[in-house]
Amino acid sequence: MQNTAIQMNNITKSFGSLAANENVNFTVFNGEVHALLGENGAGKSTLMNMLSGIYSPDSGSIFVNGEAVRFSSPKDSIALGIGMIHQHFKLIDVLTAKENIIIGQKGSFFTKGKALSTKIKKLSDEYGLDINPDKKVYDMPVGEKQALEIIKVLYRGANILILDEPTAVLTPQEIKKLFNIIRNMREKGCAIVIITHKLGEVMEISDRITILRRGRSIGTVATKETEVPSLIEMMVGKKVDLSIKKRKSENNEELLVLDEVTVLDGEKKQALKSVSFSLHAGEILGVAGVAKSGQKELCESIAGLVPAEKGRIFFNGENILGKSPGEIIKMGIRMGFIPEDRLGMGLVAGMDIVHNIILKDYQGQKGVFLKRGPCVQKAERIVDSLSILTPSVFTPVKKLSGGNIQKVLLGREIDSDPKVLITAYPVRGLDIGASYKIYDLLGEQKERGAGVLFVGEDLDVLMELCDRVMVLCDGRVTGIVDPDKVTKEDIGLLMTGMSERRRADDQNR
Amino acid sequence: MIKIAKRAELPKNREWAIRAAAVLLSIVFAGTVLAALGFDPIKVFAQIVNGSVGSQMRLNQTILKAIPLTITSMGILVAFKMKFWNIGGEGQIMMGAMGATYAALHLPPDLPSAAMLVLVAAAAVVCGGAWAFIPAYFKARFGTNETIFTLMMNYIAIKWVTYLQYDLWKDPSSFGFPRIAAFPPSAVLPKLFGVHVGWLVAVLSVVLVYIFINHTKKGYEVTVIGESVETARYAGMNIKYIMITTMLVSGGLCGLAGMVQASAIEKTLTYSLSANFGFTAIITTWLGRLSAPAVAVCCFAFAMLIQGGAYLQIALLIPASVAEMIQGIILFFVLGSEFFIQYKVAFDHRAIKGVA
Amino acid sequence: MKKIMLFTLALLVGLSLAACGGDEGSQTGSGEPFDGFIKVGFILIGSKTDGGFSQAHANGIDELEAYFAGLVKTMAVENVDDQNRQDIRSAAENMIDAGCRVIIGCSYGYMETMAELADEYPDVDFLHFSGSMMNDTNFDNFFGAMEEPRYLAGIVAGMMTKSNKIGYVAAYPYTEVQIGINAFALGVQSVNPSAEVNVVYINTWYDPEKEKSAAQALLAQGCDVLEQHCDTAGPIIAAQEAGAYAIGYNLDKPDSAPKAYLTAPVWDHGAYYIDVVKKILDGSFSPESYYGNMASGYVDLAPLSDLVPSEVKAKVDEAKAQIISGELAPFSGEILFADGSVLCEEGQTLTRGDIWDINSVIKGVNATE
């Protein structure tokens, strides 16, 4: 069982002057689950992309099943039984599971439907995957889509699987299911690499862990022989204080009230369905939910970026629905939304920090000319106070690392002392130290008396940071809970759409 | 096996090295072609330079060609900065020239020249802007594709002016020859230092567009919209309003180029007045990377190429077609180099072990 | 032969210097010492090998060079749009910059630009083909009585048609073109009063595609002989493809469509160029608005091709002799415009001035704009 599936020796890969991987060593055995751990930008994706043939290394060697290989395209990698399951599914919605599996396969056009269905059935039974070959992808929940991605890779004969952040889009229940599948694959002798930064999951599923930091491999440890704090220390390079100070605030008037708000998305489907809640001064209201449950529309409707189909939004007693984003900004409502590509909204990638800081201020300036002076000082102040790593305030933000980009965005929004601060995924892609710095900043805002709406991904953080947690499922509020009084699993059930009553019924059974 | 991949950003000096290499290659390639055709390549290239700046008169010719190109490019730049692909410079030039002509022929000809010229230019800016307003409004209101829209508007404008020239505005005193009456002397741009004052208009347009883009709030908004519409929305910008007003500026500048050509060169309106400046300006704007001073330099270089090519016919008795071919080769390489600046191409001959 | 030429030229130069006396060089321009040869620049609307208008000029340029045996240098800028003053000016100024002391512009639309240039460059002589503007010193126009060979072409067409429908591909509804149409129609009517002439205006001098498609439209209407006032061989080729006859223009060029080509009214530009350059060299040039005719040899009808029967040839030869001798003028006797108004009264012969006032077509011509 201990024969090596993958061995990567002294891998170096540079992009321009930046070394993404430097002398990285990485070995995976058959029949093990190997976690590749590291902060964003540590070089995990680069390393795996070399394994799947997307990049080729500048130097170093790769052995698959003991043989030296050189990939010139992903095809070569697939031919050797390596399959990668990406964070973003590469499935075609209008096709069935079966069609998605055979698409792009040689000779697939004439494959007999029945034989294929049998083969798929056999594979899914073997690994405990729950796949109906004739179901269309758009009818599938996220967990099933992921299972389909896995079966797609297995169908192509992969016995070395790489899963990139597989749990990001899943509910706790779905994660459990996924881990069972992974364990089944391990039993069958597959080698599984799982890329993640969620430490709890690493401890639960993996056999061994390799830690990357700033492009270098720091070490490989056996999961049984390690503890979370030492993993963090290896990831970050120093000891980190991981406590969130829950601050108290005296002020608790109602700041923002949403009343039966319904919002349509780009395809005229209801993205928010009669959402009602209120946000108080001096509180952090968390928003939990699997990806695309209406979080974006919620934030945007408050900021005035998308019109609401129905309902009312009150700010300090005044209905702000129908006001322009500019007017809403002037009233003191600020939003920082970090989309998946990080730069899509809120920052202008090609512009420097100063010009990104000006974005919210310039409209207040008099005259036709743009005055940079005060904004340069402001930019320097924000860079200082949030310890943003940048050569200067005149560096285009796209040249900064993800964490620093987010600090620029959040720093700008906080700097204006907003009354309501809406942040979505503010720590997405940030290193652990920076994340905790951001939590602290949000806490400060709350202490100052601002109402903070915090859309998050990590349930542990939501429960620790927030005064209340609102759960969204498919555009509906399925519950607003006090995190001190419920468990993570309770919230997970709400995320899947089970109402509180249903949950109570389940418990009574 | 050839692999093409998008490059991470190149350092500026590498970019310029690639461009220089492209120019060099184009000279080598064009030189080979010339030699094969029996011309002395070194002489030809020397004459292109000599023919474009070698004497005061040639320099003037080059400047004359650079003027409309520069003004139009500035108009295109403003729109492109917003990622509004205004391919309609040609039509906006035409409509600007039409507005200028209407004013020049209908205002009292004994108006003081300065007042006359200001009014004529204003009419051109309004008409060019109005022509650009139409696609801008449709894009803002209905999300139509501006590329196709502005392109098609060119043909409408050219055919419309053709109709004016052949029918509606045809000068009855031209023995039936289809032409529109000439501008009165008060509506003709005077000369300054040997070249009509259009050169001053061109220089001013470069300075003003530079200031507009880099130092005004409106220019800042245009840049933000160009980089990310989402961010602009999020910052509370009124995107539709900005899009429309910016296109008014863009079309207005193109219209002004039309006025300069109508007033200083043609002294009337003809259907061939736009002479592809609207399209050439797209190339120069792109080559200049949307930076006003760089675009101005590109326009001048382009004018040199045109004038130098024209001079070849005279100096070396090279047929027009060969001169145009050389221009084409140089452009091909220079534009092609932009591809290599953004993408890298690797040749991978190494065998792959264990993989068929 | 060459030596004689050189000698002649030297003599001419000597004479011109003598004639100018004290203010030498004021006629030939520049004030710079005359360096033994003169450069003449041509602006052409098409390419030298367009098979028509520009090629006729190009032939004249060759004749000019050959005649002066290297002592006159020529250069030409081809494909200069006559609607684009920037290009016209650029072509002229580039040639002036290259040392030209004579600029010859060969399209009507160059006129205003050349007038401007003549003001700006008093040392350069500007000669404009087909225009009406001139000044007293350095700007002249030249043209010819094309109505004479057009009339003869009309005789050919009138006798060759069977359908009695003759097609005419014309550039613009402009005086020069209308003179040609009317003279042609008069020739047709002199031999075949029942034939009609159908005209299509294509609104350009030079556009091979448009010329050809207009010809095809006329052929489709039933015309079996075509004449043209446009620059390329497009109509002749269209006629051959349709099995009809065609008369060219500008240039005797039977080979492009030997099964259709009958003849063509042609220019001998070389004759004028040589003559005017001589005058410039000897200092006797002054603007005169040159108007050549068949007698002077500037215009003619090209030799009739073998497709033309001998009785037609005889008729043409007879009329030609009468025109050259002055017995016959195309525009004489009673001529009515298509709208019934009078162009020429019984017993009257139109003068050059009268002819150049024509702005419409005569009876028997159907013109669609």
| Second-level CATH architecture of C147-264+302-368 | 3-Layer(aba) Sandwich (3.40)
Give the range among A361-365, C228-232, C291-295 with minimum mean pLDDT.
A361-365
What is the C-alpha separation between A166 and A185, in angstroms, rounded?
15
Q: pLDDT-based confidence at C20, cuts 50/70/90? A: very low
Q: Tell me which chain B residues have a C-beta less than 8 angstroms from the C-beta of A67.
A: 353-354
**Using the beta-carbon criterion (under 8 Å), do B8 and A365 form an inter-chain contact?**
no
Give the residue, A181 or B354, on which the prediction is more confident: A181
A chain contacts of residue B227, beta-carbon cutoff 8 Å = 348-351
How would you classify the pairing of strands A420-424 and A333-337?
A: parallel
Q: A324 and B348: CB-CB below 8 Å?
A: no
Length of chain B: 356
b/e code C52-71 from CB counts within 10 Å (16+ = b): bbbbbbbbbbebbbebbeeb
Residue of chain B whose alpha carbon sits nearest to that of C44: B320
C-alpha distance from C57 to closest chain B C-alpha (Å) = 16
B43, with CB counted inside 10 A (0-12, 13-18, 19+), is: middle
**Within a domain: residue A10?**
yes
The answer to whether residues B204 and B102 belong to one domain is yes
Q: What is the pLDDT of residue C8?
A: 43
Compute the count of residue pairs across chains A and B with CB atoms less than 8 Å apart: 95
- Predicted pLDDT of residue C316: 94
Biggest distance spanned by C-alpha atoms of chain C:
67
- More confident call, A246 vs C233: C233
The answer to whether position A329 is within a domain reads yes
**pLDDT tens by residue, C69-78:** 878 999 999 8
pLDDT band at C17 (very low <50, low <70, confident <90, very high): very low
Cβ pair B64:C86 closer than 8 A: yes
Residue A446 has which token pair?
């709350």
B64, closest residue in chain C (CA to CA)? C86
Q: Which residues between 173 and 192 in chain C have a beta carbon less than 8 angstroms from any beta carbon of chain B?
A: 173-178
Q: Is B265 on the interface with C (CB under 8 A)?
A: yes
Neighbour tally for C338: CB within 10 Å: 16
With beta carbons under 8 A apart, name residues in chain A contacting B219: 370
Average pLDDT across chain C, whole number? 87
Instruction: Tell how far CA C222 is from the center of its chain.
Output: 29
C170 touches chain B (CB under 8 A): no
Q: How many domains does chain A have?
A: 2
Mean pLDDT of B329-344: 81
CB B8 to CB A15 under 8 A? yes
| Domain topology for C2-144+268-292 | Rossmann fold (3.40.50)
Question: C216 to chain B, minimum CA–CA distance in Å?
Answer: 23
Among chain B residues, the shortest Cα distance to A62 is held by B353
Contact criterion met (CB < 8 Å) for B51 and C94: yes
Which chains lie within 8 Å of chain C at 3 or more CB pairs, if any?
Answer: B
Cα four-point dihedral sign B72, B74, B79, B80: positive
Residue A241 lies in a domain: no
Q: Is residue A409 part of a domain?
A: yes
Nearest CA distance, C273 vs chain B (angstrom): 19
Side-by-side strand order, sheet with A310-315 = A270-280, A254-264, A310-315, A318-319
* Better pLDDT: B3 or A353: A353
| Least confident span in A14-18, B44-48, C76-80, C239-243 | A14-18
DSSP C340: S
Asked if B350's CB is within 8 angstroms of A72's CB, the reply is yes
Provide the pLDDT for residue C369.
64
In tens, the pLDDT along B286-298 reads 888 899 999 999 9
- Mean pLDDT value across residues C102-109: 93
pLDDT band at C10 (very low <50, low <70, confident <90, very high): very low
Q: Are residues A406 and A489 located together in one domain of the fold?
A: yes
Task: Tell me the one-letter amino acid at A392.
Answer: S
In a domain, residue A387? The reply is no
CB-CB under 8 Å, B315 with C98: yes
Q: Are residues B336 and B245 in the same domain?
A: no
Q: Check whether residue B311 and residue B337 sit in a common domain.
A: no
Residues B139 and B230 in one domain: yes
> Residue C295 above 80 pLDDT?
yes
Q: CATH no. for residue B211?
A: 1.10.3470
Contacts of B117 (CB under 8 A, 6+ apart): B186, B187, B189, B263
Asked whether residue B6 falls in the same domain as residue B80, the answer is no
- pLDDT for res C5: 43
Cα dihedral sign for C116, C118, C120, C124?
Answer: positive
Q: How remote is the C-alpha of B78 from its chain's centroid?
A: 12
Same-domain pairing of B164 and B34: no
In this prediction, residue C33 carries a pLDDT of 39
| B88 & B161 share domain | yes
* pLDDT confidence bin for C61, thresholds 50/70/90: very high
| Residue among C89, C109, C172 minimizing CB distance to B176 | C172
Domain limits for position B253: 56-317
Judged on CB neighbours under 10 Å (0-12, 13-18, 19+), A434 is buried
pLDDT at residue C69, as a whole number:
83
C308 touches chain B (CB under 8 A): no
Q: Do residue A227 and residue A272 come from a single domain?
A: no
Does B266 contact chain C (CB < 8 Å)?
yes
Give the count of beta carbons closer than 10 Å to the beta carbon of residue A260.
12
A278 contacts A258 by C-beta, under 8 angstroms: yes
Q: List chain B residues with CB under 8 Å of C84.
A: 266, 270, 272-273, 275
Task: Enter the tokens of residue B279.
Answer: 């399209």
Name which residue leads in pLDDT, A425 or C314. Answer: C314
Quick check: B354 and A80 CB within 8 A? yes
- Min CA distance, B14 vs chain C (Å)? 38
List the beta bridge partners of residue A28: A6
Instruction: Give the model's pLDDT for residue C152.
Output: 95
Report pLDDT for B207: 97
> How is residue B100 written in tokens?
């200028």
**B220 closest CB neighbour out of A304, A328, A362:** A362
B275/C83 Cβ within 8 A? no
- Residue range(s) occupied by CATH 3.40.50.2300 in chain C: 2-144+268-292, 147-264+302-368
Does residue B255 share a domain with residue B201?
yes
pLDDT at C30: 38
pLDDT on residue B94: 96
Q: Do A445 and A424 contact (CB within 8 A), yes or no?
A: no
Residues B24 and B112 in one domain: no
The verdict on a CB contact (< 8 Å) between B177 and C81 is: no
In a domain, A384, yes or no: no
- Per the CB < 8 Å rule, is A326 touching B237? yes
Give the percent of chain B with pLDDT over 70: 94
User: In this complex, which chains have at least 3 CB pairs below 8 Å with chain B?
Assistant: A, C
Residue A177's domain spans which residues? 4-236
Q: What is the mean pLDDT of residues B209-217?
A: 94
Does the CB of B221 have a partner CB in chain C at under 8 Å? Answer: no
Provide the whole-model pTM. 0.76
Residue C148 confidence (pLDDT) = 94
Mutate to test the interface with B, among A17, A348, A357, A400 (most CBs of B within 10 A): A348
Instruction: Please tell me whether residues A173 and A55 are part of one structural domain.
Output: yes
What is the pLDDT averaged over residues C120-129?
Answer: 94
Give the CA diameter of chain B.
88
- Residues (pLDDT < 50) of chain A are 1, 503, 509
CA atoms within 13 A on the CB side of C74: 25
A180 in a structural domain = yes
Nearest C-alpha in B relative to C82? B272
End-to-end CA distance of chain B: 14
Count of structural domains, chain B: 2
Domain termination residue (choose one: A236, A266, A283): A236
- Contacts with B, C 89-148, CB within 8 Å: 89-91, 93-98, 108-109, 112, 132
pLDDT of residue C146: 93
Distances (CA, A) of C339 to C129, C199, C201, C365: 31, 16, 19, 11
Best B265, B271, B307 residue to mutate vs chain C (most C CBs within 10 Å): B265
Residue reference for tokens 């998946």: A340
Touching, C vs B (3+ Cβ pairs under 8 A): yes
Q: Are B25 and B68 in a shared domain?
A: no
Domain boundary among A236, A269, A304: A236
Question: Does the beta-carbon distance from B55 to C97 stay under 8 Å?
Answer: yes
Q: Please tell me whether residues A493 and A413 are part of one structural domain.
A: yes
Q: What is the pLDDT of residue C310?
A: 93
Same domain, A287 and A218: no
Strand A476-481 to strand A451-455: parallel, antiparallel, or no bridges (unpaired)?
unpaired
Give the pLDDT band (50/70/90) at residue B219: very high
Q: How far is CA B186 from the centre of its chain?
A: 27
* Residue C167 neighbours by CB distance under 10 Å: 30
Chain A CB contacts of B231 under 8 Å are: 344-348, 359
Residue A485 CA to residue B107 CA, distance in Å, equals 83
Distance CA A294, CA B37 (A): 68
Q: Would you say residue A262 lies in a domain? A: yes
Q: How confident is the model at residue B9 (pLDDT cuts 50, 70, 90)?
A: low
Check residue A3 and give its pLDDT.
82
**Segment C2-29 mean pLDDT:** 39
What's the farthest any 2 CA atoms get from each other in chain A?
74
Residues 53-72, chain B: which have Cβ within 8 Å of C?
55, 57-58, 60-61, 64-65
Paired tokens of B280: 């050439």
Residue A122 and residue A42 share a domain: yes
* Percent of chain C residues topping a pLDDT of 70: 90
| Averaged pLDDT of chain B | 88
How many CB atoms neighbour CB A168 within 10 A?
Answer: 18
How confident is the model at residue B352, as a pLDDT?
Answer: 41
The arithmetic mean of pLDDT across residues B67-96, rounded, is 95
Domain C-terminal end among A190, A208, A236: A236
> What tokens appear for A428 in the block?
């997405």
For residue B238, which residues of chain A lie inside 8 Å, CB to CB?
324, 326
Check whether residue A220 and residue A335 sit in a common domain.
no
The Cα–Cα gap between C175 and B172 comes to: 12
Phi then psi for B266, rounded to 5 degrees?
-75, -30
Helix (H), strand (E) at residue C159: helix C147-160
Distance from CA of A329 to the nearest CA of B (A): 7
Nearest CA in chain B to A366: B217
Closest chain C residue by Cα to residue B174: C174
Judgement on whether residues A424 and A283 belong to the same structural domain of the protein: yes
Q: Which amino acid is at B70?
A: T
- Which residues in chain B have Cβ-Cβ distances shorter than 8 Å to C203? 166, 178
User: Where would I find the H helices in A237-368?
Assistant: 295-303, 325-331, 353-358
Number of other CB atoms surrounding residue A322 within 10 Å: 11
Q: How confident is the model at residue B2 (pLDDT cuts 50, 70, 90)?
A: low
Q: Which residues in chain B touch residue A367, judged by CB atoms under 8 angstroms apart?
A: 217
- CATH code of the domain containing A467: 3.40.50.300
Least-confidence region, from A115-129, C171-185, C203-217: A115-129
Contacts of B289 in chain A (CB under 8 A): none
CB contact under 8 Å between B320 and C47, yes or no, is yes
